[in-house]
Amino acid sequence: MAKNKTTQTGESIIDFISKAADTDQKRKDSFELLELMESVSGFKPKMWGPSIVGFGSYHYKYDSGHEGDAPLIGFSPRKAAISLYVFTGAKEHAHLLEGLGKFKMGKACIYIKKLPDIDTKALTALMKQHIAFLQSKYGKK
């Protein structure tokens, strides 16, 4: 079984953001996301792998037998956009994306150019639902 690349590390979040966020806007947005996600989740931020800032964690196990730990919510200031890991990808949660603002969608990842493009109340509701969904499915840690 392959080893998970995205595991919790002890790396500095401040150092990571300072290096990874390639514009002043992205740095500002990343520090605002730190505060918002900590407030919503109730968890301190931790680095997950080399490039994800995560909050809280859950343990998953797929039918295939693959299992591991992942952050409940998180983000990464990548070159093209800020990746937000706050959406289950489930069709029954798609309504939570309404009113979110300007974003692009991956499989279960939301990409934003800048935080002011997003309605923070809608983002907060999305994060709360995402956390509740994961904790109900996988249990609280």
One digit per residue, the tens of pLDDT, for the chain of length 141 reads 456 767 899 999 999 999 999 999 999 999 999 999 999 999 999 999 999 999 999 998 878 888 889 999 999 999 999 999 999 888 888 899 999 999 999 887 999 999 999 999 999 999 999 999 999 988 886
Question: Is 122 inside any structural domain?
Answer: yes
Question: Is 1 inside any structural domain?
Answer: no
30 within 8 A of 14, measured Cβ to Cβ: no
How many domains in the chain?
Answer: 1
Question: Is 3 inside any structural domain?
Answer: no
Task: Kindly list the distances between the CA atom of residue 98 and the CA atoms of 2, 121, 122, 123, 134, in Å, as whole numbers in the listed order.
Answer: 37, 12, 8, 10, 21
Task: Kindly list the distances between the CA atom of residue 71 and the CA atoms of 24, 27, 57, 95, 114, in Å, as whole numbers in the listed order.
Answer: 26, 21, 4, 23, 22
Question: Is 2 inside any structural domain?
Answer: no
Q: Find the CATH number of the domain harbouring 71.
A: 3.90.1150.200
Q: Nearest-5° angle of CA 115, CA 117, CA 123?
A: 65
